[in-house]
């Protein structure tokens, strides 16, 4: 950190008490989903306004925040063991403060401070905008502070705060979730579902365009239940496509029960901008398990949605999330999940062994499966899927794809970007191409990543 502080650097703060961050570095460690990545950006932006300087390692920091995730396996343990690694740093630097935010913060509140004295403050997922106040308090008053209130009645009015949006970035459109899938902690850690006003979203996208952004992903736990006044998700998508100059639009995550023909038609009608890729978690291929998960669709209904989407959107590509080893899942029911991969033709899957979460219904089901059964199923699912997917993606070899170049690749001389169908493609090319859409011929296709060559 700078030793000297120029108090006149900011005329507004001249002759006033220096801001909390003056001469202090902040480091945020981020886990979990894209919401958390966006929230971290927001925290950095808010703390920068208090003159904190973002630093790259905890060793350089005076303020450390863990933005935690609680969706699976031992999240409290993960937080505690990371905090443990800061012990020596805190002993050396009495000015150091450690805070926990995100879904574990929301879930555990003061329990975290009780079990780990190195932690100075905890804040919930609805309290990010109050973070500067909370931090100021820990510095001015010392002691321990917790703020994990849900703002149930407050409208969801926030401006997108991203420091370096790059070529492709995320814009929150909803927060929270009201679906209460029986395995999922998110409705408890993120609260009730709320939608941002559509005019705010349009303003954000227009502003991002002026900062060089070419692609936005509209983000929410369940984007297709978006609703603001008379604007539903299909209409929002159409507005973003028609009323802004953004080049590419994606969205995630969609819930199968809310994916209707109107939305599919809107995607097709705006196919020049809305990308032909849908992440549509099915979770289980067996209707009895789906019912116990409270997913509100059957295997047949899910597959009918996929068929409808394939009919409506030419070349649409799907990815999905899957849970194996849900309480009571039999071997036969697990086999239904494997066959669902085959029938749906998912080239990319994100699969997890079921993990009981606090507050959730499924955690109280009596027929929990042993860990070895769950992980054996997970391994068998990945094996079976690999066999299918390596075959399926061969069809892309030799094809030409429109790639939006996002960044330089780690490999020297290469750049990388995404196809309209969300395939990550690496190829030789100049960094000058970042932000441009170029034609690339695919030379090698693996399920998760492609190699290609630039067509000049």
Please give the residue ranges that form the binding site for ligand SF4 (CB under 6 A): 177, 179-181, 184, 186-187, 221-222, 255
Q: How far is the CB of 82 from ligand SAH (least distance, A)?
A: 21
Query: What token pair was written down for 64?
Result: 């450390």
Could you say which of 96, 112, 186, 440 contacts ligand F3S (CB under 6 A)?
Answer: 186
If the CB atoms of residues 298 and 437 are measured against ligand SF4, the closer one turns out to be 298
Backbone angles phi, psi at 173, to 5 degrees: -115, -30
Peptide bond into 118 cis (omega under 30): no
Asked if 357 is part of the footprint of ligand SAH (rule: CB under 6 A), the reply reads yes
> Which residues on adjacent β-strands are paired with residue 64?
27, 98
Asked if 182 is part of the footprint of ligand SAH (rule: CB under 6 A), the reply reads no
If the CB atoms of residues 172 and 244 are measured against ligand SF4, the closer one turns out to be 172
Q: Report whether 454 contacts 437 (CB < 8 A).
A: no
Q: Edge to edge, what strands does the sheet with 248-252 contain?
A: 168-172, 215-219, 248-252
323, interface contact from ligand SF4, ligand F3S, ligand SAH, none, CB < 5-8 Å by kind: ligand SAH
Binding to ligand SAH, residues 229-258 (CB under 6 A) = 253, 255
Asked if 80 is part of the footprint of ligand F3S (rule: CB under 6 A), the reply reads no
> Taking CB under 6 A as the rule, which mask of x and - marks residues 261-290 in contact with ligand SAH?
--------------------x-x-------
If the CB atoms of residues 127 and 283 are measured against ligand SAH, the closer one turns out to be 283
If the CB atoms of residues 186 and 280 are measured against ligand SF4, the closer one turns out to be 186
> Which residues on adjacent β-strands are paired with residue 407?
416
Q: How far is the CB of 255 from ligand SF4 (least distance, A)?
A: 5
Could you say which of 61, 184, 349, 401 contacts ligand SAH (CB under 6 A)?
Answer: 184
Among the listed ranges 185-193, 337-345, 373-381, 413-421, the one in contact with ligand F3S (CB under 6 A) is 185-193
102, interface contact from ligand SF4, ligand F3S, ligand SAH, none, CB < 5-8 Å by kind: ligand F3S
In angstroms, the Cα distances linking 430 to 94, 399, 436 are: 47, 22, 11
Backbone angles phi, psi at 194, to 5 degrees: -140, 145
If the CB atoms of residues 350 and 390 are measured against ligand F3S, the closer one turns out to be 350
Binding to ligand F3S, residues 23-42 (CB under 6 A) = 32-33, 35-36
Which residue in the block uniquely carries the two structure tokens 């920068």?
48
Q: Per-residue DSSP letters for 307-329?
A: HHHHHHSTT-EEEEEEEES-TT-
Query: What token pair was written down for 343?
Result: 């029938």
Rounded to whole angstroms, the Cα distance separating 200 from 165 reads 17
With CA atoms as reference, report the closest residue to 49 among 27, 28, 22, 29: 22
Decide: helix, strand or coil at residue 95: coil
Rounded to whole angstroms, the Cα distance separating 142 from 17 reads 18
Asked if 68 is part of the footprint of ligand SAH (rule: CB under 6 A), the reply reads no
Binding to ligand F3S, residues 57-76 (CB under 6 A) = 69-71
- Its sign, for the CA torsion 402, 407, 413, 414, is negative
Rounded to whole angstroms, the Cα distance separating 179 from 418 reads 31
Number of residues that bind ligand F3S (CB under 6 A): 13
If the CB atoms of residues 288 and 451 are measured against ligand SF4, the closer one turns out to be 288
Query: What token pair was written down for 38?
Result: 């966006």
Residue burial 399-415, b: 16+ Cβ < 10 Å; e: rest:
eebebbbbebbeeeeeb
121, interface contact from ligand SAH, ligand F3S, ligand SF4, none, CB < 5-8 Å by kind: none
List interacting residues with ligand F3S (CB under 6 A): 32-33, 35-36, 69-71, 102-103, 185-186, 189-190
List interacting residues with ligand SAH (CB under 6 A): 71-72, 183-184, 186, 221-222, 253, 255, 281, 283, 321, 323, 352, 354-355, 357
């Amino acid at each position: 950190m700078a030793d000297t502080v120029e108090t006149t650097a900011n005329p507004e703060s001249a002759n006033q008490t220096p801001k909390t961050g003056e001469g202090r570095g902040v480091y945020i460690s981020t886990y979990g989903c894209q919401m958390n990545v966006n929230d971290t950006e927001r925290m950095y932006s808010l703390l920068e306004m208090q003159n904190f300087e973002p630093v790259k390692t905890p060793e350089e920091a005076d303020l450390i925040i863990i933005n935690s995730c609680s969706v699976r396996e031992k999240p409290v343990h993960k937080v505690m063991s990371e905090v443990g690694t800061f012990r020596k740093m805190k002993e050396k630097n009495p000015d150091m403060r450690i805070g926990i935010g995100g879904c574990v913060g929301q879930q555990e509140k003061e329990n975290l401070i009780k079990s780990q004295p190195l932690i100075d403050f905890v804040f919930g997922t609805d309290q990010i905008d109050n973070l500067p106040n909370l931090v100021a308090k820990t510095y001015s008053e010392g002691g321990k502070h917790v703020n994990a209130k849900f703002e149930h009645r407050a409208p969801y009015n926030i401006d997108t705060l991203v420091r370096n949006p790059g070529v492709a970035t995320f814009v929150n459109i909803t927060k929270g979730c009201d679906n209460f899938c029986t395995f999922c902690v998110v409705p408890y850690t993120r609260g009730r579902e709320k939608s941002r006003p559509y005019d705010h979203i349009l303003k954000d996208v227009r502003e991002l365009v002026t900062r060089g952004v070419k692609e936005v992903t509209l983000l929410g736990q369940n984007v297709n239940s978006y609703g603001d006044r008379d604007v539903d998700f299909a209409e929002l998508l159409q507005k973003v496509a028609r009323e802004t100059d953004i080049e590419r639009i994606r969205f995630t995550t969609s819930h199968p029960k809310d994916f209707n023909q109107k939305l599919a038609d809107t995607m097709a009608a705006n196919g020049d901008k809305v990308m032909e890729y849908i992440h549509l978690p099915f979770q289980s291929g067996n209707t009895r398990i789906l019912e116990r998960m409270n997913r509100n669709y059957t295997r047949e209904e899910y597959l009918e949605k996929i068929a409808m989407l394939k009919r409506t959107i030419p070349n649409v590509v799907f990815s999905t999330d899957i849970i194996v080893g849900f309480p009571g899942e039999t071997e036969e029911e697990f086999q239904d999940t494997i066959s669902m991969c085959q029938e749906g033709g998912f080239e990319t899957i994100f699969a997890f062994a079921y993990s009981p979460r606090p507050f959730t219904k499924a955690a109280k089901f009596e027929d929990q499966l042993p860990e070895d059964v769950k992980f054996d199923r997970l391994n068998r699912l990945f094996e079976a899927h690999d066999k299918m997917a390596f075959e399926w993606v061969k069809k892309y070899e030799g094809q030409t794809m429109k790639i939006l170049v996002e960044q330089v690749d780690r490999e020297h001389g290469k750049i990388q970007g995404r196809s309209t169908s969300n395939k990550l493609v690496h190829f030789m090319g100049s960094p000058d191409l970042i932000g441009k859409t170029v034609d690339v011929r695919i030379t090698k296709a693996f399920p998760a990543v492609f190699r290609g060559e630039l067509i000049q």
